[in-house]
Amino acid sequence: MTTTLTATVGQKFTIAGMTCSHCEMAVTNELSKLDGVTRIAVDVAAGTVITESVETLPLEVVAAAIDEAGYQLVA
């Protein structure tokens, strides 16, 4: 049996306007649609999201997904 490890890229983003579990679900849903995303961790209290993906996600693509969820990418 051979195990193949795939390297991932972690990125952290700050999002304005998240206040509840619905916010978390909306952001997770939109980011999960992006090609190559393998993991999403939303922290509503901190207003952050950490993504892992097979390659770096372009900032404009992440911003568009966050906007589609109804929130604003700050950084």
Q: Which CATH number covers residue 62?
A: 3.30.70.100
CB distance 51 to 57 below 8 Å: yes
Tell me if 53 is assigned to some domain: yes
Tell me if 40 is assigned to some domain: yes
Asked if pLDDT for residue 4 goes beyond 90, the answer is no
Q: Is the pTM of this model over 0.75?
A: yes
Q: How far apart are CA 32 and CA 37, in angstroms?
A: 6
Percent of the chain at pLDDT > 90 equals 88
Query: How distant, in Å, are the alpha carbons of 1, 5, 35, 53 from that of 16?
Result: 46, 34, 23, 22
What pLDDT, in 10s, does the model give residues 48-57?
999 999 999 9
Domain range enclosing 68: 9-73
Asked if pLDDT for residue 5 goes beyond 70, the answer is no
